[in-house]
Structure 1
Amino acid sequence: MDLPVSTARLPSTLWGTLIISGTIIGAGMFSLPVVMSGAWFLWSSALLIITWFCMLLSGLLFLEASLHYPAGSSFDTITRDLLGRGWNLINGLSVAFVLGILTYAYISASGAIIQHTLSQLSLPVSARSAGFAFTLLVALFIWLGTAMVSRMTLIFLGAKVITFLIIFGGLLWHIEPVKLLDSHGEESHYLRYLWMVIPFCLASFGYHGNIAGLVSYYQKNGSRVCRCLVFGTLLALVIYFIWIIGTMGNIPRHEFKAIAAQGGNIDVLVAALSGVLHSPYLNLLLDIFSNFAVACSFLGVSLGFFDYLADLFKFDRSAFGRLKTTVVTFILPLTAAMIWPNGFLVAIGYAGLAATLWAVITPAMLARKARQRFTNAAWQVRGGTAPIVLVLIFGAVNALVSILSYWNILPVYAG
């Protein structure tokens, strides 16, 4: 097994943290207030913390297993070796489905929000055209490599944080505790709607496709990658809390029914928040924030999809090899977005069940199998078998909830 190199020769932890947080903190956050509106703030907050912890553990378990393999090895190589070809086929289909449908979701989201922003400037453009043009730009960054993605993520995330703080200086100023802590609304049932939130919370902490790239980027230094995962997911959790406080503290619970009825797309929620701010400048900042939020997630998810496909098809890292991987990464999601441009919320929801398999259950199984086969691990998740058991239980609950929701058995907060 390769030993990790000296930390003095490694890139800063900041870059990996930005890739993880940039992947997580993005367009998916716009779905959270909408799907959480039934359970509302207190129940949803508790579930968000549980999801963060379990998703962090699952990422660390996959990191543990991946360190036994050459740098750059993704789910395909590791799962096939440790769990066999049958499970690898099932897992591979779920990886491709999740990363592919999330890439489609962010193309859809980017088209909608760019169209909304340009319309405020009296520049009419269709959502399809905006999504197509932005996808080409993202594809260029992905083709240029992980270092370019991390630097662009720094720019986007920096702009996003600045606009976020300015905006929520306004939104948090308008928060009404009666709305935020509402527990006696027109529909008094809250806990019954919590189950529907679970798949969306899981999908909102998806970053596992980026771990292989970070292992390669940090030359298999497990401790350094671990810090990136911890800091990146913690930053996402904090931002999510500020986001749901700002939205739920300003928009009454019952008004989210109308937002959900319109598809729950980003531009609908942005328009609702704009009505709260009553300021053209803050409205413009909200539009800018939304664009950068989409861009961060788009970059992170598509980079993870790129790394997985490169490993799956064994494309080399030459300029032409990366070009082939880039084309394969974007061709189907872009085509789908041109045909169905308004599928953001639906796509995020469908990603939950498949993500349970490859981002929760498979990492736990890989870590368990790796511990049985390799006895000289240079880095391992603490806690013995407890993290593996906890992650498997979380995955089983999420899978059950997702299946029940697809059968329309679980209650839905809607008009």
Structure 2
Amino acid sequence: MTSAALTRATPSTFAGMVIIGGTIIGAGMFSLPVVMSGAWFFWSLAALVFTWFCMLHSGLMILEANLNYHVGASFDTMTRDLLGNVWNRINGLSIAFVLYILTYAYISASGSILHHTFGELSINAPARLAGLLFALVVAFIVWLSTRAVSRMTAIVLGAKVITFFLTFGSLLGHVEPATLFNVAESHPSYTPYLLMTLPFCLASFGYHGNVPSLMKYYGKNPRVIVRCLIGGTLLALGLYAVWLLATMGNIPRHDFIAIAQKGGNIDVLVQALSGVLNSRSLDLLLVVFSNFAVASSFLGVTLGLFDYLADLFGFDDSRLGRLKTALLTFAPPIIGGLLWPDGFLYAIGYAGLAATIWAAIVPALLARASRKRFGSPQFRVWGGTPMIVLILVFGIVNALVHLMSTFDLLPVWN
């Protein structure tokens, strides 16, 4: 094979950036302006940048450890070998918990947004019923095959990208500087509400399960994979900043209190934006975009949970085996969605709590153990021990913040 053919066969860096950015950006972004309304735009942007920095480097630490193993080795292999069975079980439980809680979150979100969508068509569809039917459709697609999920995800992702740019272009054109700078409040207080945003920021930068996948995609090529991680996470950071600008520049800070009190679900935020802008076309774009955002996140998360459970319990890929896996994947979150249909914000927050283990604490421990055993011959994250300590502290602080928030030990913007 000629060198030109080899060049053509090598996946582009852009493809890896899209994989990372597409994994990060999903329905979870709808929670950000609601939970960040207390800290408001500039402090929230600072929290996002800090979280991006820490989550990028924790992903790079996974890469550093992963490069010392065969292509295809993932969390299970690395964690068991470097940290032992106890940490491997803790890490496995945290991954399962995050995937289950996100599946529940998207059932809750799909029910609310479909209820709003059908309401626009003068059709009364209860949120519980809409979420149940949507979950059953996704379960059927996941049960069919991974290829069916891939094809459906490609369609949904393409539609999401188109509606994303149309929606944001319209929203940015309506931004009011007075609203963004919150001139209506004479002596506003922002910093007391900053800490509680961190677990939601962390949950909004989850891509770490894709690092071993990129090594399978590019081989042991750390330079390319590092560029993919930097580019993909920066893409997500930029879009989150635009989303905060578009929402906080259109909805007054005080109005977010009512949105949060109604559960913070996607339909409530869409209704608030529609009420402020009073634009029928923009309302339609928001509804379409939010539906596609939920669908793409739902498909990706449930496929990951499906494959994890199939591997964990040893279910085969026959129709009966896939049916067992599908029941185990969807039954618990569907029951949760029927009992608590408005738990989107709470679920995203709890996902952030569990994600601190496998997206912050475990990567730092892996990097430390990997350096002791292998010396990191192929790639080493800059910053030495202080960087490992920073990522560990970042994870621990996120966990503590969520626990403090759960027990009402942090101020709430109300």
State the TM-score, normalizing by the size of structure 2.
0.89
Q: In the alignment, what sits opposite 1:368? A: 368
1:3 corresponds in structure 2 to: none
Instruction: Please say if residues 56 and 229 of structure 2, whose CA atoms lie closer than 8 Å, have aligned partners that are also in contact.
Output: yes
Higher deviation after alignment, 390-399 or 34-43: 390-399
Matched residue SS, 2:412: coil
Query: CA, structure 1 residues 125+205, in 2 after alignment: closer, same or farther (shift >3 Å)?
Result: same
Which region of structure 1 is more displaced relative to structure 2, 176-185 or 258-267? Answer: 176-185
1:392 CA displacement: 1.4
1:183 positional shift: 6.3
Of the structure 1 ranges 329-338 and 346-355, higher mean CA displacement relative to structure 2 is found in: 329-338
Q: What are the residue-to-residue correspondences of 1:266-305 with 2, within 5 Å?
A: 266-305=266-305
* Equivalent position amino acid for 1:41 in 2: F
Percent identical: 63
Q: Deviations over 1:117-175 (max 9, x none)?
A: 12212333232333233334434554566666555444333322322222223221221
> How many residues matched?
409
How far off its partner does 1:303 sit?
A: 3.3
**Aligned counterpart, 1:35:** 35
TM-superposed CA distance for 1:294, in Å, is 1.0
Could you tell me how far 1:251 is from its partner in structure 2? 0.7
Partner of residue 3, structure 2: none
- Counterpart of 2:56 in structure 1: which amino acid? L
* Number of the residue aligned with 2:113: 113
Q: Secondary structure at the match of 1:174?
A: coil
Tell me which moved more, 227-236 or 401-410. Answer: 227-236
Indicate the residue corresponding to 2:164 in structure 1: 164
Cα deviation digits, residues 306-341 of structure 1 (max 9, x gap): 343344345566776655544433332223223222
In the alignment, the residues of structure 2 paired with residue 230 and residue 305 of structure 1 have an alpha-carbon distance, to the nearest angstrom, of: 26
Residue number in structure 2 paired with 1:65:
65
| RMSD, matched Cα | 2.7
Q: Provide the secondary structure at the position in 1 that maps to 2:173.
A: helix
Counterpart in 2 of 1:92? 92
**Counterpart in the other structure of 2:395:** 395
Contact kept in structure 2, 1:77 and 1:311, CA below 8 Å: no
Q: 2:48 is matched with which residue? A: 48
| One-letter amino acid matched to 1:282 | L
In structure 1, stretches of 5+ residues that fail to align are: 1-5
Structure 2 SS opposite 1:38? coil
- CA deviation string 1:238-276 (max 9, x = no partner): 111111101101111111111111111111000000112
Q: What secondary structure is seen at the aligned counterpart in 1 of 2:84? A: helix
Task: Note the alpha carbon deviations across 1:366-411, whole angstroms, 9 max, x for none.
Answer: 1211222224644443444443232112112222222222221111
CA distance in 1, matches of 2:206, 2:74: 15
Q: Is the 8 A contact 1:98 1:355 kept in 2?
A: yes
Amino acid at match of 1:286: L
Q: Is the 8 A contact 2:65 2:376 kept in 1?
A: no
Q: Indicate how the Cα distance of structure 1 residues 228 and 316 shifts in structure 2: closer, same or farther if over 3 A, else same.
A: farther
Residues 330 and 73 of structure 1, relative CA distance in 2, 3 Å threshold: farther
Contact 1:208 1:359 (8 Å CA) reproduced = yes
State how far apart, in whole Å, the 2-side matches of 1:220 and 1:150 are: 25
Moved more, 60-69 or 239-248: 60-69
- The more displaced of 91-100 and 118-127 is 118-127
Equivalent residue, structure 1, for 2:248: 248
Correspondence for 1:199? 199
- The alignment's TM-score, normalised by the length of structure 1, stands at 0.88
1:113-192 map, 5 Å: 113-142=113-142, 149=149, 152-182=152-182, 185=185, 188-192=188-192
Give the deviation of 1:192 after TM superposition. Answer: 0.8
Whole-angstrom distance in 2 between the partners of 1:319 and 1:8 = 38
**2:180 touches 2:245 (CA, 8 Å); kept in 1?**
yes
Corresponding residue for residue 381 of structure 1: 381
Mapped partners of 2:255, 2:237: distance in 1:
25
Using the alignment, how far apart are the partners of 1:34 and 1:181 within structure 2? 17
2 CA distance for matches of 1:162 and 1:85? 45
Structure 2 gaps, min length 5: 1-5
- Cα offset for 1:14? 4.6
Conserved 8 A contact 2:73-2:212? yes
**Contact 2:370–2:376, Cα closer than 8 Å, also in 1:** no
Does the CA-based 8 Å contact 1:19-1:150 persist in structure 2? no
Q: Kindly tell me: are residues 317 and 218 of structure 1, through their superposed partners in 2, closer, same or farther at Cα, counting changes over 3 Å?
A: farther
